[in-house]
Amino acid sequence: MELSRRDFLKMAGIASAGVVVAGSAGTLLTGCTPVAKSKDGSLAGKQMAMLYVPSRHEEGCTDCTQACHLKHNVPNIADKKHEIKWIWETEFQHAFTEYMENDLLKERMKGVPYFVLCNHCANPACTRVCPTKATFKREDGVVMMDYHRCIGCRFCVAACPYGARSFNFEDPRDSLSKPVPNPNFPTRERGVVEKCNFCSELDIQGGELPYCVQACVKRKGSLEKSALIFGDLADEKSDFHNILEHLQKEEKLIPLRRKEIAGTQPKVYYLV
């Protein structure tokens, strides 16, 4: 049987993709996660995490989403198949599909809004399948994206159990206002993946809060009353830990994480 050049290249592409995927699957089974270390060691020993308290969310409020998307030049694309999302609201049955057999919990959570985003997992599947290391994990647990290294293979999109990554099917710059909302943050190109970065461009190690948390704190008046709380999970003396302890002991809230069965160890906790 004779093969045309196009058919040959198509088969070769499938074969090479199979090698990459097979190798990545092997790495997935080992549980080994590549970590980018800081030159000065300033990120070592930290575990940046976020808490979300659904009961504190005001119905109809999207301050967090607006702040995040504005500061990160996230395009507003009407086509749902091509939309780009860093943080967005969804329902319990979509955020926690694994709990849908729990009738008591399902009834209690019915109608409660949930904001979802990249979980910045301790054991992220996305970083292990990326052939160019365009996505990687820092020592402080933040899962990063290098847009210049991204080749648009979308292996990370397929590997993420949470649907937290968006692919630019069209040029996102065409859907941004002119001038761009935030000239200090890079815009992206067609053919690359993007997602929440925990506002790593800010000094989150020095105490600055991500834009979504800042917006919620501004609306609520304080971090203690905010629906979104951010901080170092490893620092037991931090405000973050004090608030978490209060929510668990005083308000009797239980921390849930999405799809824990996936073994990714998410760093976004939902206090319900």
HEC per residue, the chain: CCCCHHHHHHHHHHHHHHHHHHHHHHHHHHCCCCEECCCCCCCCCCCEEEEECHHHCCCCCCHHHHHHHHHCCCCCCCCCCCCCCCEEEEEHHHHCHHHCCCHHHHHHHCCCEEEEECCCCCCCHHHHHCCCCCEEEECCCCEEECCCCCCCCCHHHHHCCCCCCEECCCCHHHHCCCCCCCCCCCCCCCCCEECCCCCCCCCHHHCCCCHHHHHHHHHHCCHHHCCEEEEECCCCCCHHHHHHHHHHHCCCCCEECCCHHHCCCCCEEEEC
> Distance between CA atoms of 171 and 152, rounded to whole angstroms?
13
Query: Is 60 exceeded by the pLDDT of residue 94?
Result: yes
Confidence check: pLDDT of 28 > 60: no
Q: Are 210 and 198 in contact (CB under 8 A)?
A: yes
pLDDT of 217 reads 97
Domains of the chain with bracketed CATH: 31-271 (3.30.70.20)
Taken in order 48, 218, 211, 129, the sign of the CA dihedral is: positive
Q: Report the range out of 33-47, 105-119, 127-141 with the highest average pLDDT.
A: 127-141
Closest Cα partner for 71 from 199, 175, 171, 177? Answer: 199
Q: Tokens for 78?
A: 């009407």
Question: What percent of the chain is modeled with pLDDT above 70?
Answer: 85
Segment 215-239 mean pLDDT: 95
pLDDT in tens, 45-78: 899 999 999 999 998 999 999 999 999 999 999 8
Is pLDDT of 253 > 70? Answer: yes
Q: Average pLDDT for residues 214-237, to the nearest whole number?
A: 96
* pLDDT for 207: 87
Task: Find the mean pLDDT for residues 196-203.
Answer: 95
Q: With bands split at pLDDT 50, 70 and 90, how would you rate the model's confidence at 242?
A: very high
The phi, psi pair for 206, rounded to 5°, reads: -90, 5
Average pLDDT of every residue of the chain:
86
pLDDT grade, residue 32 (50/70/90)? Answer: low
Q: Which pLDDT score is estimated for 13?
A: 40
Q: Taking the mean position of all CA atoms in its chain, how far away is CA 193?
A: 12
